[in-house]
Amino acid sequence: MKRISTLFIIALISLYSCKSSKTSDTDIVNLSAKKVIKRNYEARFNKTNIKANLTLKYKGSAGLPNLNASLRMVKDSIIWLSVTKFGIPFAKIIIDKNEVKYYEKLSRTYFIGNFDLISHWLGVDFDFNQIQNLFLGESILNLKEKKYEIQIKENLYALNPKNNPFPFEILFWINPMNFKLEKEELKDPKKEQKLLVTYKGYNEINDHLFPKGFTIHATDKKNRTIVDINYRNVTFDTPLRFPFKIPNGYEELNFNDSK
C-alpha cells in the first residue's frame, strides 16, 4: 500500500510538471517582427543536397492516388521525384527554375512546360522557389522584402504584412522555441480562395532541423485540394543522380488536357 501511494504521488507530480511546462502565450518572449524574422532566417535549412523517401496522400480535382516517392533535390537548382504505387514505378517528375517535365506510365502520357501543371495539382499558383520552400519548411514569400506586424497567438508568433501590399491576406506562424515555420495561410476573399500549409514538426538530422511532413489545404469556389506528405529516411550531402527519359510512344499532354 505504501508503495502504491508513493507511485501515485510521483504520478501526480509528473502530471503537474507536464502541464506547468506547457508553453502559453504569456510565457513567450515579446520580440519585434524584425527579430523574429531574423531568427527564422538563421534557423533556415542550409544544406545543398537532400535525399528522402516520402508518402503522399492526395484529394483533389486531379484525381491522383495515394503514392510513395523518392525525393532528390539540389537546393536552388533542381527537384526530382520518382513516384511508385504498391512498389511499382508510376511516374517521374523533374522541376528546375524554368520548366516542369513529367511522365506517367499508367496513362502513357508526358508533359513538358511551365508551372501551370503543378499549380493545377496543388490548387494554387506556385513557382520553383515556392515549391522548394514547401519541401524545406520555409515561407513561400520572402519575409525580408516587406515590413510585418507581430502578435502572439496559439502559442506562436503570428506575422502579417504592414499596410498589406498584396492582393490577398497572408499570415505566417513561427514557433517561438526553434523559430521554424509552423504554418502559413493565404486568403483571397474576393476570389474565395484559401491556402493553408501546416507543418508536422521538425526532426533534428545531423544538427539540422528538417520537416517531418506537411499538409496543404487549398480551396476555391469550385474545388478543394488536400495534399498530405510525410518524410522518411532523410539524408543530406550525398551524391545524387536525376535519371529522366520519356519512353517512346507516350502522348504529350497540353495543360488544357490536364485540367
pLDDT band at 125 (very low <50, low <70, confident <90, very high): confident
**Mean pLDDT of all residues in the chain?**
84
pLDDT over 50 at 172, yes or no: yes
Residues in the chain: 259
pLDDT at 192: 82
pLDDT over 60 at 9, yes or no: no
- Once rounded to an integer, what is the mean pLDDT over residues 97-111? 92
pLDDT at 221: 80
The better pLDDT of the pair 230, 15 is held by 230
pLDDT at 62: 60
- Once rounded to an integer, what is the mean pLDDT over residues 31-42? 96
Predicted TM-score (pTM) of this structure: 0.82
Q: Tens digits of per-residue pLDDT, 200-247?
A: 999 999 889 999 999 999 888 888 889 899 999 999 999 999 999 999
pLDDT at 133: 94
pLDDT at 54: 95
What is the rounded CA–CA span in Å between residue 194 and residue 217?
Answer: 8
- Once rounded to an integer, what is the mean pLDDT over residues 185-201? 89
Query: What is the identity of the amino acid at 246?
Result: I
- What the chain holds in terms of domains, given with CATH numbers, is 28-235+248-258 (2.50.20.10)
What is the rounded CA–CA span in Å between residue 102 and residue 59?
Answer: 20
* Phi, psi values for residue 245, rounded to 5°: -145, 120
- What residue has cell string 506575422? 159
What is the rounded CA–CA span in Å between residue 160 and residue 255?
Answer: 34
- Coil vs helix vs strand at 59: strand
pLDDT at 10: 35
What is the rounded CA–CA span in Å between residue 210 and residue 215?
Answer: 15
194 forms beta bridges with 187, 219
Answer yes or no: are the C-beta atoms of 161 and 147 closer than 8 Å.
Answer: yes
Q: Which three cell numbers stand for residue 101?
A: 517535365
**CB within 8 Å of 204: residues ≥ 6 apart:** none
